Amino acid sequence: MGTIKKYYIKVISILLAILFLYAAMSKALDFENFQIQLAQSPLLSAYAEIISYSIIIIEIIVAICLFIPYTNRLGLYASLGLMSAFTVYIYLILNYSDFIPCSCGGILEKLGWTEHLLFNLFFVILTITAILINDFHVIGWRRPALYCGIATTASCLAVSVLFLRSEHTIKKENNFTRRFLLNPIAEEKKFNMGSDSYYFAGIDNSRIYLGSSTAPLWLTSLDLQLKDTVSFRLYLDRSDYPFRNLQTLVKNGFYYLFDGSVPIIYRGTIGNRQARTISTGDAYFTQMIVLDTIDFALRSQSRKNKQYILARLKLDSTPKVSIYENILQKQVDGVFDSDGRLLSDDTKNKLIYIYGYRNQIIKMDNNLKVLDSLRTIDTVSRVKISVVQLSDGRHKMNTPPFRVNKSVAMDHGYLYNESNLKGKHESSAAWRNSAIIDIYNIEKKEYVGSFYIRKNTEEKIVGMIANGKFLYVLIGHELRRLRFRDALLN
Average pLDDT over residues 318-346: 90
Q: Mean pLDDT over all residues of the chain?
A: 87
- pLDDT for residue 389: 62
Among 83-87, 200-204, 304-308, name the most confident range: 200-204
Confidence band of 21 (pLDDT split at 50, 70, 90) = very high
Average pLDDT over residues 235-253: 96
- pLDDT for residue 242: 94
What percentage of the chain has pLDDT greater than the value 90? 56
More confident of the two residues 360 and 7: 360
HEC-encoded secondary structure of the chain: CCHHHHHHHHHHHHHHHHHHHHHHHHHHHCHHHHHHHHHCCCCCHHHHHHHHHHHHHHHHHHHHHHHCHHHHHHHHHHHHHHHHHHHHHHHHHHHHCCCCCCCCCHHHCCCCHHHHHHHHHHHHHHHHHHHHHHHHHHHCCHHHHHHHHHHHHHHHHHHHHHHHHHHHHHHCCCCCCCCECCCCEEEEEEEECCCCCEEEEEECCCEEEEEECCCCCEEEEEECCCCCEEEEECEECCCCCCCCCCEEEEECCEEEEEECCCCEEEEEECCCCEEEEEEECCCCCCEEEEEECCEEEEEEECCCCCCEEEEEEECCCCCCEEEECCCCCCCCCCCCCCCEEEEEECCCCEEEEEECCCCEEEEEECCCCEEEEEECCCCCCCCCCCEEECCCCCEEECCCCCCCEEEEEEECCEEEEEECCCCCCCCHHHHHCEEEEEEEECCCCEEEEEEEEECCCCCCEEEEEEECCEEEEEECCEEEEEEECHHHHC
Among 143-157, 352-366, 424-438, name the most confident range: 352-366
- pLDDT for residue 346: 93
Cβ atoms 257, 245 nearer than 8 A: no
Task: State whether the Cα torsion 219-417-364-413 is positive or negative.
Answer: positive
Burial 171-203 (b: 16+ CB within 10 A, else e): beebbbbbbbbbebbeeebebebeebebebbbb
Distance between CA 445 and CA 376 in Å, rounded?
Answer: 10
- pLDDT for residue 1: 53
Crossing angle, helix 3-29 and helix 48-67, to 10 degrees? 150
User: Could you tell me how far CA 61 lies from the centroid of its own chain?
Assistant: 37
CATH 1.10.1740.10 applies to domain 185-489: no
- Name the residue among 223, 204, 187 with its Cα closest to residue 483: 187
Q: Is 266 exposed, middle or buried (0-12, 13-18, 19+ CB in 10 A)?
A: buried
Q: What is the pLDDT of residues 403-421, one digit of tens each?
A: 889 999 999 999 999 998 8
Distance between CA 61 and CA 310 in Å, rounded?
Answer: 60
The lowest-confidence range among 98-107, 188-197, 350-359 is: 98-107
Cβ atoms 422, 379 nearer than 8 A: no
Cβ atoms 5, 138 nearer than 8 A: no
pLDDT at 164 > cutoff 90 = no
Q: pTM for the whole thing?
A: 0.75
Distance between CA 142 and CA 364 in Å, rounded?
Answer: 62
More confident of the two residues 2 and 141: 141
- Name the residue among 400, 404, 399, 414 with its Cα closest to residue 381: 404
Confidence band of 394 (pLDDT split at 50, 70, 90) = low
- pLDDT for residue 459: 87
Distance between CA 369 and CA 291 in Å, rounded?
Answer: 14
Confidence band of 250 (pLDDT split at 50, 70, 90) = very high
User: 10 Å Cβ neighbour count for 101?
Assistant: 17
Cα(first)–Cα(last) distance of the chain, in Å?
58
- pLDDT for residue 134: 83
Confidence band of 382 (pLDDT split at 50, 70, 90) = confident
Bridge partners of 256?
A: 249, 267
* Number of residues that make up the chain: 490
- pLDDT for residue 488: 62
Average pLDDT over residues 130-146: 80
- pLDDT for residue 305: 85
Cβ atoms 211, 201 nearer than 8 A: yes
For the chain, what are the domain ranges?
A: 3-171, 185-489
Q: Which value, in Å, is the radius of gyration of the alpha carbons in the chain?
A: 29
- pLDDT for residue 348: 93
Residue 308 identity: Y
Residue 192 identity: N
Distance between CA 24 and CA 244 in Å, rounded?
Answer: 62
Distance between CA 235 and CA 217 in Å, rounded?
Answer: 7
